Amino acid sequence: MPSNEVLESKKAVVAELVERFKGAQAGVLADYRGLTVAQDTELRAKLREAGVKYTIVKNKLVKRAVEEIGLEGLEEALHGPTALATSDNDAVIAAKVLVDFAKDHEALEIKAGFVDGKAISLDEVKVYASIPSKDVLIAKMLGSLQAPISALARTLDAIANKEAAAE
């Protein structure tokens, strides 16, 4: 039987995972087996740069955390070594970085994910990865909003230039 110290340590990890799942907009579970140390370091650097928290987690502790918050559907993915990548402020960035990395490194196997407290399949993770990031979507929207105003400004400038040339 485990000591009280070990039990308390595991309870603390489960509580931390619960808070992490609750605070995350999205997350991805992956099997990192087969990655070299250099590849894992490269992946961690890319995730850190994107603002994604990435840790190796014990399946049993993740199961407990998932049960505690009622996030159903991830249990099937909790086998073998598991890494958890979560993002607090962008629903697509964790999936985008992991899917892009997995294209070049076959050893990285994406298992499943979750978005806004709902489990998603591997195929859905790939769909989320194909969505442009929040910043890109905002830039596109602002560009769309500015296009009519820019067109109006150019038209008014052309009319003013034409009238100035006629005088």
Question: 149 or 103: whose pLDDT is higher?
Answer: 103
pLDDT for the residue numbered 125: 86
Residue-number span of the structural domain to which 166 is assigned: 132-167
| Residues 29 and 110 both lie in one domain | yes
Say if residue 90's pLDDT is above 90: no
| Residues 62 and 143 both lie in one domain | no
pLDDT over 90 for what percent of the chain? Answer: 28
| Residues 76 and 87 both lie in one domain | yes
DSSP letter at 77 equals G
| Residues 160 and 96 both lie in one domain | no
| Residues 91 and 110 both lie in one domain | yes
Report the domain count for the chain.
Answer: 2
Report the CATH number that the domain containing residue 64 is assigned in CATH: 3.30.70.1730
| Residues 83 and 164 both lie in one domain | no
Report the pLDDT averaged over residues 23-43. Answer: 91
Q: Give the chain's mean pLDDT.
A: 87
Q: Which residue has the tokens 């840790």?
A: 55
| Residues 111 and 37 both lie in one domain | yes
| Residues 46 and 89 both lie in one domain | yes
Report the pLDDT averaged over residues 7-19. Answer: 87
HEC profile of 42-73: HHHHHHHHCCCEEEEECHHHHHHHHHHHCCCC
